[in-house]
Amino acid sequence: MNIIITGGCGFIGSNLCFFLKKKIKNARIVSVDNFSKSYSYYNSKRLLKSGIKNYKVDISSTKSLSKISFKADLIIDCSAEPAVETSRINTSKVLNSNLVGTINILEKCKIDKSKIIFLSSSRIYPVRESYKKFKEFKNKKKTSLYDEDTSILGPKTIYGYTKLASEMLVEEYSYCYDVDYIINRFGLITGEGQFGKVEQGLISLWLWRHYRKIPLEYKGHGGKGEQIRDVLFVDDLNNLILKQIISFDKIKNQIFCVGGGKKNIISLANLTKMCQNITGNKITITSNKDTSIYDIPYYVSSLKKINKFYKWKPKQKMNKGLIKIFNWMKKNNNQIKFFF
Ligand SMILES: NC(=O)c1ccc[n+]([C@@H]2O[C@H](COP(=O)([O-])OP(=O)(O)OC[C@H]3O[C@@H](n4cnc5c(N)ncnc54)[C@H](O)[C@@H]3O)[C@@H](O)[C@H]2O)c1
């Protein structure tokens, strides 16, 4: 089986490259990544050691993409600029990379007759929905879930727009050109190999800062760290994608919400407590009440549909998952410290 993983030198893409190479016998996997992240080159060297070549190509350039002669049975699209605030500042760049990039990948799917697994995002849902659900959570102590039928209407960030528009294009290419697809709308993902920043990868950033004793800030939504997320660990994501590949011919042309679910929810303030316990360090966390119009207070995924179709549930529990990341940080400290 020939597989192209776009964004293969990023956090999720590289994890998938290594995992699928081990799990699928005779798989020929290549990565396509333009090295837009500081750690992409570092990951490309690690991939090469496992026999996975990266094509240094910007997927938003038709000309560059057409130079890749490798034809895939499946393209797993993990390339995007995933930070919401970046999409507010560098709007046209993000539109180009995330949306034009998807168009070009879909064209390649059409020509090469490849299937596609598209990594979408919880940010396709409008910002106001998150405030509504957060209120329900606080007032009624009820965990309101996002599912595939939750309304998508309303402003959602430019990043979220590129993801929703990409989803719609995937559906159009399937309808018009028989490109088979699976779309996964992921919530917050973390795991080994994530180099968290304030705008993306909050869990690993929080752990890293505790480990290295660097101050942090609770920003927005009252400035007390009350924001809520469900957390999915990348090992569980890998296992799900493998299931999806194996059963692709039976289960296809579907959209799924995927996340840690209500058993893996955490507030930022609770994350602080867990990071303190795991690292043994207590750091200064200041409070900033300014809330970005792009920040959301709440997201928790419903796993009903994904569980029904694949009998899949995330296995990694929060504390053990965090310890695993912490051990990876300690072990690789010298190589990875430049990327945080
Ligand atoms: N990390 C999360 O919590 C999360 C949650 C939901 C969805 N997602 C989605 O999963 C995918 C992977 O996210 P990640 O966390 O691994 O991000 P990442 O930034 O670590 O990886 C993305 C990779 O894509 C590459 N890339 C970006 N634009 C490109 C382009 N135009 N051409 C070629 N390569 C390009 C980057 O160089 C990088 O290596 C993204 O599509 C993201 O939207 C991530």
pLDDT digits (tens, 9 = 90+) for 67-111: 899 999 999 999 999 999 999 999 999 999 999 999 999 999 999
Q: Which parts of the chain have pLDDT scores under 50? A: none
In the prediction, which pLDDT does 198 show? 87
Contact, 198 vs 267, CB < 8 A?
no
In the prediction, which pLDDT does 339 show? 95
The residue whose CA has the least distance to atom 43 of ligand 1 is 82
Question: Model-level pTM?
Answer: 0.97
What is the 281 CA–ligand 1 centroid distance (Å)? Answer: 31
Count of C-beta atoms within a 10 Å radius of residue 99 = 20
Q: How far apart are CA 258 and CA 232, in angstroms?
A: 8
pLDDT digits (tens, 9 = 90+) for 166-179: 999 999 999 999 99
Q: Which atom of ligand 1 is nearest to the CA of 122?
A: 6
Main-chain dihedrals φ then ψ at residue 106, nearest 5 degrees: -65, -35
Q: How far apart are CA 73 and CA 67, in angstroms?
A: 18
Cα–Cα separations (whole angstroms), residue 75 to 125, 153, 233, 333 = 25, 29, 22, 33
Contact, 317 vs 273, CB < 8 A?
no
Q: What is the DSSP letter of 223?
A: S
pLDDT digits (tens, 9 = 90+) for 203-244: 999 999 999 999 999 999 999 999 999 999 999 999 999 999
Which among 228, 226, 240, 251 has a CA at the least distance from the CA of 145?
228
**Angle CA(67)–CA(72)–CA(75) in degrees, nearest 5?**
95
Residue in 15, 36, 64 to alter for ligand 1 test, most ligand atoms within 8 A of Cβ: 36
